[in-house]
Amino acid sequence: MKSITIVLALLACLQATAQKDTQIKGPIEYTFDSTKSVPLKAFVFQPIESNNNKNYPTIVIFHGGGWSMGEPSWAFGLCEKYAKKGMVAVAAQYRLSDQQTITPIDAMEDARNIIIWMRENSVELKIKKDQIAAYGWSAGAHLAASAAIFPSSGEGEKINSKPNALVLVSPALSLGNDGWFKKLLGENENPLKYSPAEHVKKGVPPSIILIGKDDTVTPIAESKLFQNNMIKNGNESNLHVYEGVGHLFTPSSQPDNGWPNPDKEVQAKAYSKIDSFLKELGYIE
């Protein structure tokens, strides 16, 4: 990512209009990790149905913000949308880089830990442990992908952080030349060590990538590298490139490294592709 100004490009773009056909409850606030400098929260949205014993496919959403800004509420609109489609939806909090003691490495750990926590508490949360999609935009997409590419396990090694599907919007996936990411890591860290595209192996879950052709914040070359390595390793991956727009579907005629002004038609097409992807995997009807 090019500079801290990109963090303004995150809220309005990805707020989805909630449908009216299904009632939901939420956000229900949980603490998924109380051991860090601040208690980390998960905000859960659930469909309301008569069958209280039913478990649901789930989506956990990581907001963008250049690893240094943002909050889970930025994902509430999307959570409402997917809860109305019959999923449990979780807006994730993670530690934000402060250019001192907290780095994107900590946020990567938090992304893994919330998925492990979701599986460990699947009965209470009413989720299907083997149907968890991780959705992220911009820096949040890096965290979603990292949970799959650099997984960790819970106690006893029986539960891990690898999601079952990835939804990546304007994603930060290849970070070797990302000056902002490198600055946040600190001078003693190699950004390639934490770069998903260069570490794709066999067994990464199915993914969908949606990006503007003229993205200057997370350039399309990053997504293409990830896509190529996914296919090379026998993984399912779908790349959708949109003409005439940049980061988070901002028209190419406008700067795309500030507050987003998404092309509504392109954005709607992208959301439709995501829905089709989730339908094909059996997450929504």
Residue 20, pLDDT score: 42
As a whole-number percent, the residues of the chain with pLDDT over 70 amount to: 90
- Average pLDDT for 153-161: 76
DSSP 3-state of 104: helix
Per-residue confidence (pLDDT) for residue 17, from 0 to 100: 38
CA-CA distances (angstroms) from residue 159 to 112, 116, 153, 246? 11, 6, 6, 38
Q: Give the pLDDT of residue 67.
A: 98
Asked if the model's pLDDT at residue 2 lies above 80, the reply is no
Q: What is the pLDDT of residues 261-270, one digit of tens each?
A: 999 999 999 9
Polymer length of the chain? 285
Domains and CATH numbers, the chain: 21-280 (3.40.50.1820)
Q: What is the pLDDT of residue 96?
A: 98
Examine the pLDDT at 202 and tell me if it is beyond 90: yes
Q: What is the pLDDT of residue 34?
A: 96
Report, as an integer, the average pLDDT of 197-215.
98
User: Token pair 């860290």 is at which residue?
Assistant: 189
Q: What is the pLDDT of residue 22?
A: 64
- Give the model's confidence band at 11: pLDDT under 50 very low, under 70 low, under 90 confident, else very high: very low
pLDDT for res 187: 86
- Which of the four pLDDT bands, split at 50, 70 and 90, describes residue 42? very high
Nearest to 284 by CA among 125, 44, 90, 87: 87
Average per-residue pLDDT for the chain: 91
pLDDT, position 153? 77
> What pLDDT was estimated at residue 175?
97
Examine the pLDDT at 228 and tell me if it is beyond 50. yes
d(CA 96, CA 84): 29
pLDDT over 80 (residue 58):
yes
Bond before 219 cis per omega within 30 degrees: no
Beta pairing partners, 88? 58
Give the pLDDT mean for 4-18: 39
pLDDT at residue 151 greater than cutoff 90: yes
Average pLDDT on 124-145 reads: 97
**Predicted confidence band of residue 50 (pLDDT cuts 50, 70, 90):** low
Which pLDDT score, from 0 to 100, does residue 94 have? 98
Task: Tell me the mean pLDDT in the region 49-62.
Answer: 86
Q: Is the pLDDT of residue 180 over 60?
A: yes
| Segment 233-263, tens digit of pLDDT | 999 999 999 999 999 999 999 999 988 899 9
End-to-end CA distance of the chain: 36
